[in-house]
Amino acid sequence: MGLPSKKRPKSEKRKRATVNLLQKAKLTTCPKCKKAILPYHVCPYCGTYAGRQVLKLEIKKETKK
């Protein structure tokens, strides 16, 4: 059974883990309302997921002045 040749220092582990923090979140567009959302998540604006209505959201109408 193989063993590690030497223990890695804490700083080396932390340097390797910082790559995940530097990446930006990848966004997709909702096919219904065309707003940016996270992939594989319900759209918080229109409440759809995979082309189906999942959440019932009340749409607030903006009044024009």
- Cβ atoms of 43 and 33 closer than 8 Å: yes
Domain positions in the chain are 23-57
Count of alpha carbons within 13 Å of 41, Cβ hemisphere only? Answer: 12
Bin 50: left if φ > 0, else alpha if -120 < ψ < 50, else beta.
left
Per-residue confidence (pLDDT) for residue 59, from 0 to 100: 64
Nearest to 57 by CA among 65, 41, 45: 45
Mean pLDDT, rounded, for 26-54: 92
pLDDT at 20: 74
Read off the DSSP letter of residue 54. -
Residue 29 pLDDT > 80: yes
